[in-house]
Amino acid sequence: MDFIRFALQYVYSRRYAAGYIALCWIVWAIVFAANALQVDFLSYMILFSLAPVLFFEIRRLLRVYQKHLTMSEMTEVSGQTLEELATNYPPEDSFEDADYQTLLRRCVEAEEAARNAEPETNGLAEYYTRWAKEIKEPVSAMEQLLLTGDSPMVRRMSVELRHLQQYAEMAVAYARLETAPAYALKKYDLSAIVQKSLKKFNGEMIEKQISVTFDPVPAMVVTDAKWLLFMLEQILSNAFRYTFSGGVTVAIEREAAAPEDMADWESVSDGAGGGAGPFLSVRDSGTGIAPDTLKYLLDPSPMSGGQEARRGLGLYLCRRICADLGHSITVLSKQGEGTCVRLELSLGLASPEEAPEPPTESEAVSETGTESTPET
């Protein structure tokens, strides 16, 4: 029954060739009738022309049907790779088959190239993770030495040492994001995460005499605390680096709209936030960002070099992490007035008492060689 159905479909697919042959026979009949030729000659001509056509078409039908059976068996086998499909593909006997074979070979080559590149990417992430662990020893030793004194020079060196740690963390984060890390999603007290992050910037506050304002409010969010800490530290680092007077304000907000005094500020955003919040904002009174630079700020490399490129790399990583965690990021700025970075996070329903503590220093992004899987 399957063969009969397939044969009918094959005949239908060859309808134009059959129509052309029938048209030739009609033309011959008209020619014979117009010249009063014997009809027997016409019958012989039709039979002699029909025999080889039927022979080759039946032969082709059987070959195509056999190929159909082979490919049907291939589709029933699950888990085959492109290479196995290309190997088991029936022998080519037409230009279409040759094209299909070529396409399969190109897909096999692309799959193999991607497979070969994956270990290189994983190896790069492992290398940077090991490098971050190795560099922690001399950095920790330098921190201990700096604790023995207290002077403007020592405080300045402490700040630059923290910058060195931050650059190492950025390198590790970039490499690990390329390997699609697993995220451990839990409910956390957002205020506790902010307070833990602010403690790392005591050196900048003292050295630059910058005031920091933060009023803790109860707010639970569903996130990966290690990566949220990383993002917040990148944002705070930019805020302190480009602020020379005034202060930095960190706030947990419920309103999706930015404050009214920033209505004329330029903005750029990325992410899939739904506007439900809560929103974590970091606002500074620094130099601000030029509009031409701002619109490319969340791209991998908005500038060819200079300080704005350093600012952009950290925010680009924040954009990548927000996309993975289901958060969104918005940067508002006005040159000469300041910059505000707002993160829209996922709302959690647990109470602060039920929330786990933020990760410790040893659990930071740059210190962990593996990620835990998300909670279900």
For the whole model, what pTM was predicted?
A: 0.58
What is 185-367's CATH number, 3.30.565.10, 3.40.30.10, 1.10.10.10, 3.40.50.80?
Answer: 3.30.565.10
For the stretch 325-356, pLDDT in tens is 889 999 999 999 999 999 998 765 445 555 56
Closest CA to 156 of 222, 206, 100: 206
pLDDT band at 58 (very low <50, low <70, confident <90, very high): confident
Provide mean pLDDT across the span 4-26.
82
Between 7-21, 28-42, 66-80, 226-240, the lowest mean confidence (pLDDT) is in 66-80
